[in-house]
Amino acid sequence: MPYVVTDLCSGCRYTECVSVCPVECFHIDDTMTYIDPTNCIDCGGCVPVCPVGAIKAAHKLPPDKVEWIEINRRRAAETPVAMGKLPPLPGADERKAMILR
């Protein structure tokens, strides 16, 4: 069961996940990252490094987040692979402070 990036990433996009993914399965667009479920090897290394806790195991998603399994699959197919860490989006730190409060 692969891991899934949820909408908590949207607007932050810290990309810490990208730097620790052993198989380059993170894809990226202007707002967030997505995991390619066919490449993910379930190592779970990305989960603890996400500053906002946006990444979850697919089978542990709460019901209102289950749609993100399909969104990850679809968007990963439509977007390029992220090759390395990028600067976070503007306002990411403020957003993170709100989320973690």
Q: Which residues bind another protein (CB under 8 A)?
A: 19-24, 41-46, 48, 53, 57, 84-85
Residue number with CB closer to another protein (90 or 101):
101
Distance CA 31, CA 39 (A): 21
Residue owning tokens 């749609």? 67
- Which CB sits closer to another protein, 1 or 77? 1
CA distance 101 to 64: 21
Smallest separation, CB 15 to another protein (Å): 11
Q: Are 31 and 46 in contact (CB under 8 A)?
A: no
Cα 52 from Cα 62, distance rounded (Å): 16
Smallest gap from residue 83 Cβ to another protein (A): 8
Nearest residue (CB) to another protein, 87 versus 90: 87
